[in-house]
Amino acid sequence: MSGYIQELRRLVGHRPIMQCAASVIVVDEKGRLLLGKRTDNHLWGYAGGSVEIDEKVEDCAKRELFEETGLVAEELEFFMINSGPEVHYIYPNGDEVSNIEIIYLCRKYHGELRAQAEEVEELRFFEAGDIVLEMVSPPIRPVFRKYLEGIL
């Protein structure tokens, strides 16, 4: 949990908040997607997290990618904004959010793949056709729906 969100949570507890996030879908040279199995709900997702005060969205996306996967984005390509009632979510710890998430694709990256133990149980590349929505964390299912519709 980011510093800003952590501070906000001390004030509002589990009540709903608007959360601005930036995320990255890594696509390797074979067209596979890098997913991480989350430690909180044990479902799969891409790297991403809350934007800090005065942080550029692109910088947040790059920071989150590095923190969660060990990879450094060389280029980001805007993919979509994920927002609305479909991405309203209550985390397993009871924190409730209305997400506004900016998602990027990253095809050029470097670094050594390593999972951030606090947030990610496992990292794995998946063929797009092997991803089913039920295996994906609920608030990001609309993103996968759009991505998979575009390539399958």
Q: Which domains does the chain have, with CATH numbers?
A: 3-151 (3.90.79.10)
| Pairing of the two strands 47-50 and 17-26 | antiparallel
Q: How many angstroms separate the CA atoms of 31 and 131, rounded?
A: 13
DSSP-assigned letter for residue 130: G
Q: How many angstroms separate the CA atoms of 39 and 119, rounded?
A: 5
pLDDT at 67: 97
- Mean pLDDT by groups of 10 residues along the chain of 152 residues: 84 95 98 97 97 97 98 98 95 94 98 96 96 96 94 68
- CA distances to 18, 27, 28, 37, 151 from 118, rounded to whole Å, are 23, 23, 24, 11, 32
pLDDT at 150: 86
